[in-house]
Chain A
Amino acid sequence: MARHTRGLDVHLNGVEIRDSFAEAFPMRATRVVVTAETWGWAETAGRTATGFATSVIACGVEAGIERRLEPHETPDGRPGVALLFFAASSRELERQLVARIGQCVLTCPTAACYAGIDGERRLPLGRALRFFGDGFQLSKRFGRRRIWRIPVMEGEFLCEHDVGMVDAVGGGNILLIATTADRARAAAELAVAAMREVPGVVLPFPGGIVRSGSKVGSKYRRLRASTNDAYCPTLRGAVASALPAEAGSVLEIVIDGLERDAVAEAMRRGIHAACSIGRSGGLLAVDAGNYGGRLGPFHFHLRELLP
């Protein structure tokens, strides 16, 4: 893929890589492994548990399916999925985790739930959910795992006692500025596919893509976030727009990762994949969202991510 520097401009395959950076924030995160008798039920449990988890602003947690797990990778030898959960505080992460595993995995046919990450700081799983067994629950220790067997109408729900919690990075992002909505979506879908190959990250929004990026605050006092008008193509003439004249649509991809390097790698792969359609394919520029660098300690400069 051709990379050209014209003066201070940087282009990748004809697509402008703007001199901007994504501003990300420290988060608390954990990984949970959910298994079931079939891939279908494992993914159903995983999707349900990570549903309505796009943004901490309104959902409390950001979550997604990190990847499928082969039977030989799971504690009980069944198909599984690895789920990542990110929250702004350990307290909120604990609250969301117990509620989501309790309502979405405990209830799901054949599903079982195990810790997928270690760490000195622990979050309760079975430690909290065991009480559903109403005194008939039993615990078993296998190696370092303490497993609760909770009797349910289907049979038994297996749930690990607790799971590790780690410091993580949330809010990595790229903005794809394209000539039309179709072109923006095509570029974003390529980027999402490439970014999902990176271990330790999730893209929490629908299909990994955000069409309604937000700015902080609003003219309405009670609203904490509102539409990012500088990137709305239909407001180009009415606001201080960040869009070129040819721009007809912008899509954002938000990345949460267990480590800074994982977020950076996902952004790098995403930029390259999106730019593969080139300017001739309708992608005009890649940008990133930030708050001037004053709020988040993690800065991912787009041009530094290029080789």
Chain B
Amino acid sequence: MSALVLRLRAALPAPLDAAPLQPARFAGLAPAEIARTPLRLGNREVPLGELFDVTGDPASGELVIEGGDAKLDRLAAGLAAGTIRVLGDVGDELAREAGGGRIEVEGSAGAFACTGMREGTVVVRGDVGPHAASRRTGLRWGMQGGVLWVEGRLGDFAGERMRRGIVVAGSAGARIGTFLSAGTILVRGAAGPEPGFGLRRGSLILLHPPAELPPTFVDCGVHRFLFTELLVRELEARALPSVDLRRRFRRHLGCTASGGRGEILIAEGT
């Protein structure tokens, strides 16, 4: 069964609200009906067929978007099931409040990816902009479940007030995990300054030591942790690459300035 394919005809002239592009929504429709789906492009409404060529099988449960665009905002917002694959970049608010399914982006994603996400798996081969898995203005919590896997760089302020879920990144910017309430952020490469500012109860796992740690963390020594095995298995269960966490970590508990009982685990011997 071939996937439903939406081929972007040209670069978008304005931000596109891509939230309606969901496999389940198109499942019972003919290609011609899909092409009539109204989409919000900038300040006007256009039929989907004006922007995309529609081919493939709508009932496949998989949607492929060929030709990404950094103006492709809110893609997979509220996604509950099915698979979306983007052969290119996407814009802001990827997988906002998603509750399931799988999203794979071959390029990079903009700001505020996975905010309010509750479940599902998001894979970004490139970089992700700032505030990923974070709290949006007016909301209490950031990401609340699911997994965000970033091959490249995780932008600044990722995981702010994140409550649950897992974020894995190749490298990370500044102040990741600010006021992290729970959940886990794992950075395989270099992390920017001040990770874990105001950390409450979550875990930051850094495979390379950061340039600096906030002075409000206390060194609890070097240990092995069994829970990392469960973390690895959870990633593998979601068909994500394996990460070697069978190693010793120096545990820094904090942030003591805010009464936090969270932790920054820094791999030893790297």
Q: Given the known inter-chain contacts A138-B203, A141-B145, A155-B224, please indicate yes or no for A76 contacting B229, CB distance below 8 A.
A: yes
For B234, what are the chain A residues with a Cβ–Cβ distance below 8 Å? 142-143
Residue of B nearest to A136 (CB): B261
Q: Which of B165, B226, B262 has the most CB of A within 10 A?
A: B226
- Establish whether residues A140 and B226, one from each chain, have CB atoms under 8 Å apart when the complex forms: no
- Establish whether residues A155 and B230, one from each chain, have CB atoms under 8 Å apart when the complex forms: no
- Establish whether residues B145 and A138, one from each chain, have CB atoms under 8 Å apart when the complex forms: no
- Establish whether residues B261 and A138, one from each chain, have CB atoms under 8 Å apart when the complex forms: yes
- Establish whether residues A147 and B227, one from each chain, have CB atoms under 8 Å apart when the complex forms: yes
Q: Given the known inter-chain contacts A75-B233, A77-B233, please indicate yes or no for A140 contacting B227, CB distance below 8 A.
A: yes
Q: Roughly how many angstroms separate A135 CA and B261 CA in the complex, as a whole number?
A: 8
For B227, what are the chain A residues with a Cβ–Cβ distance below 8 Å? 140, 147, 149, 156, 158
For A76, what are the chain B residues with a Cβ–Cβ distance below 8 Å? 226, 229-230, 233
For A142, what are the chain B residues with a Cβ–Cβ distance below 8 Å? 230-231, 233-234
- Establish whether residues B184 and A140, one from each chain, have CB atoms under 8 Å apart when the complex forms: yes
For B127, what are the chain A residues with a Cβ–Cβ distance below 8 Å? none
Residue of B nearest to A146 (CB): B164
Q: Quick one: which of A273-298 are within 8 Å of B by CB?
A: none
Q: Roughly how many angstroms separate A147 CA and B183 CA in the complex, as a whole number?
A: 12
For A149, what are the chain B residues with a Cβ–Cβ distance below 8 Å? 225, 227
Helix, strand, loop or mixed for chain A's interface?
A: strand
- Establish whether residues A140 and B203, one from each chain, have CB atoms under 8 Å apart when the complex forms: yes
Q: Roughly how many angstroms separate A41 CA and B133 CA in the complex, as a whole number?
A: 40
B225 in complex: contacting residue of A77, A136, A139, A156, CB < 8 Å: A156
For B262, what are the chain A residues with a Cβ–Cβ distance below 8 Å? 138
Q: Roughly how many angstroms separate A75 CA and B232 CA in the complex, as a whole number?
A: 11
- Indicate if A145 sits at the interface (CB-CB under 8 A): yes
- Establish whether residues A75 and B230, one from each chain, have CB atoms under 8 Å apart when the complex forms: yes
- Indicate if A42 sits at the interface (CB-CB under 8 A): no
Complex interface bits, A137-164 against B, C-beta within 8 A gives 1, otherwise 0: 0111111010101000001101000000
A147 in complex: contacting residue of B145, B164, B223, B230, CB < 8 Å: B230
- Report the minimal beta-carbon distance from B129 to chain A, rounded to whole angstroms: 26
For A77, what are the chain B residues with a Cβ–Cβ distance below 8 Å? 229, 233
Complex interface bits, A19-49 against B, C-beta within 8 A gives 1, otherwise 0: 0000000000000000000000000000000
- Establish whether residues B201 and A112, one from each chain, have CB atoms under 8 Å apart when the complex forms: no
Q: Roughly how many angstroms separate A141 CA and B252 CA in the complex, as a whole number?
A: 21
Q: Roughly how many angstroms separate A171 CA and B263 CA in the complex, as a whole number?
A: 49
A158 in complex: contacting residue of B145, B182, B226, CB < 8 Å: B226
- Establish whether residues A139 and B182, one from each chain, have CB atoms under 8 Å apart when the complex forms: yes
- Establish whether residues B231 and A138, one from each chain, have CB atoms under 8 Å apart when the complex forms: no
Q: Roughly how many angstroms separate A141 CA and B223 CA in the complex, as a whole number?
A: 21
- Establish whether residues A140 and B230, one from each chain, have CB atoms under 8 Å apart when the complex forms: yes
Q: Which of B145, B201, B230 has the most CB of A within 10 A?
A: B230
A138 in complex: contacting residue of B201, B226, B230, B237, CB < 8 Å: B201
- Report the minimal beta-carbon distance from A161 to chain B, rounded to whole angstroms: 13
For B231, what are the chain A residues with a Cβ–Cβ distance below 8 Å? 140, 142
For B229, what are the chain A residues with a Cβ–Cβ distance below 8 Å? 76-77
Complex interface bits, B251-270 against A, C-beta within 8 A gives 1, otherwise 0: 00000000001110000000
- Establish whether residues B225 and A138, one from each chain, have CB atoms under 8 Å apart when the complex forms: no
Q: Roughly how many angstroms separate A138 CA and B254 CA in the complex, as a whole number?
A: 12
- Establish whether residues A145 and B226, one from each chain, have CB atoms under 8 Å apart when the complex forms: no
For A141, what are the chain B residues with a Cβ–Cβ distance below 8 Å? 145, 164-165, 183
- Establish whether residues B203 and A156, one from each chain, have CB atoms under 8 Å apart when the complex forms: no
Q: Roughly how many angstroms separate A142 CA and B182 CA in the complex, as a whole number?
A: 12
Q: Which of A77, A141, A156 has the most CB of B within 10 A?
A: A141
Q: Quick one: which of A75-121 are within 8 Å of B by CB?
A: 75-77, 112
Q: Roughly how many angstroms separate A142 CA and B224 CA in the complex, as a whole number?
A: 19
Complex interface bits, B151-192 against A, C-beta within 8 A gives 1, otherwise 0: 000000000000011000000000000000011100000000
- Establish whether residues B233 and A156, one from each chain, have CB atoms under 8 Å apart when the complex forms: no
- Establish whether residues B237 and A143, one from each chain, have CB atoms under 8 Å apart when the complex forms: yes
What are 22 pairs between A and B in contact, CB < 8 Å? A75-B233, A76-B229, A76-B230, A76-B233, A77-B229, A77-B233, A136-B261, A138-B261, A138-B262, A138-B263, A140-B182, A140-B184, A140-B227, A140-B231, A141-B183, A142-B230, A143-B237, A145-B230, A149-B225, A155-B224, A155-B226, A156-B225
11 extra A-B contacts, CB within 8 A, seeds A138-B201, A138-B203, A141-B183:
A75-B233, A112-B226, A136-B261, A139-B182, A140-B182, A140-B230, A143-B234, A145-B230, A149-B225, A155-B224, A155-B225
Q: Write the residues of chain A forming the contact surface with B, with a CB cutoff of 8 angstroms.
A: 75-77, 112, 135-136, 138-143, 145, 147, 149, 155-156, 158
